[in-house]
Amino acid sequence: MPSFKLSSRDTKDRLGDLLPFEAPLGVEVSRIKAHRTNPQNDMLWALLRELGNHIGMTAQEMYDECACECFGYELVVNPRNNSVRKRPNMRPSKADRDEFGALIDLAQRWCAEEGSVT
């Protein structure tokens, strides 16, 4: 990504007035990914509750399974009791709209496969 310098002394001074420290500053500009929407979030949790009730798991357990299936996972060992659990490579809360849409698609497919209402 290219770097840019603030060349105007006035701009530097105004920026410095806004920030509470004296150290040299850097600014990075990048595109912002569109985050998941509230309706998407509501849809996912409704599907996970329905599916969890159908197969005897909580919505949170379904959320974790869905995230691991959709985004991949690593196995994490608890050193206290040597239990192993899956941890998703990405939390759904960090997903953009398209990634979150893939999560919803997966949950809908699982509901259909299990004969749960979708």
Please report, in tens digits, the pLDDT of each residue of the chain (118 residues total): 555 555 566 666 666 666 666 666 676 777 777 888 899 999 999 999 999 999 999 999 999 999 999 999 999 999 999 999 999 999 998 899 999 999 999 999 999 999 876 5
Are the CB atoms for 63 and 92 separated by under 8 Å? yes
Cα→Cα distances 22→8, 13, 26, 100, Å: 18, 11, 12, 40
Give Cα 43 distance to the centre of its chain: 15
> What single-letter amino acid sits at 87?
R
Are the CB atoms for 108 and 92 separated by under 8 Å? no
pTM recorded for the entire structure: 0.67
Could you state, in order of their start, the residue ranges of all structural domains in the chain?
Answer: 38-114
| 38-114: in CATH 1.10.40.30 | no
How far apart are alpha carbons 27 and 8 in whole angstroms?
15
